[in-house]
Amino acid sequence: MGRPSHLPGPVERRQVEAMAGYGVPEADIALVLRIDPKTLRKYYRDELDTGHILANAKVAESLFRKAAGDHRQSVTAAIFWLKVRARWKEVPRQDPDRDEPATEIVLAWAEPAAPAAPAAPTEPKDPA
């Protein structure tokens, strides 16, 4: 006769979304649910496509709360947030009275990198 048709429920949907968000490969998610990877993709396409986005948003929210807070982790989280999200970068400040860079770090706006020029096509080498 064959296997009964797979019926996804809310528990399985949350489980797939979470595992996809954590970066678990589709083949492993299918193994946990005891279904074929094709069945996983057929019934859980939305969860597979959005799980990582929702996980990233949750981590970003947590980092933002830490960066905006008044606790030990605030400074580190705020610096990380500004480097990644606001394109700040660390620039060692040179003290004019000393030969070596100062230990103070100044955060400065970083210009986005210019797009690389496309490489010119290369001609095949003559085997002779």
In 3D space, the residue among 54, 80, 53 whose CA is nearest the CA of residue 68 turns out to be: 80
Confidence (pLDDT) at 25: 97
For residue 55, what are the contacts with CB-CB under 8 A and spacing of at least 6?
A: 18, 21, 22
- Yes or no: say if 102 and 92 are a contact pair by the CB < 8 Å rule: yes
**Tokens found for residue 104:** 């103070």
More confident residue, 104 or 24: 24
Range scoring the smallest mean pLDDT among 1-5, 48-52, 75-79, 115-119: 115-119
Smallest CA-to-CA distance from 86 within 104, 67, 101 is with 67
pTM value is: 0.61
Chain segment 30-88, per-residue pLDDT in tens = 999 999 999 999 999 999 999 999 999 998 898 888 889 988 788 888 888 888 888 88
pLDDT tens digits for range 12-23: 999 999 999 999
d(CA 45, CA 28): 15
Question: What are the domain boundaries of the chain?
Answer: 1-59, 68-112
What is the mean predicted confidence (pLDDT) over 6-15? 96
Residue 86 has, within 13 A of its CA and on its CB side, a CA count of 13
SS3 assignment, position 36: coil
Which residues, in sequence order, are CB contacts of 1 under 8 Å at separation 6+? none
Bridge partners, residue 68, by sequence: none
Helix and strand element counts for the chain (H, E): 5, 2
What is the per-residue pLDDT for 14? 97
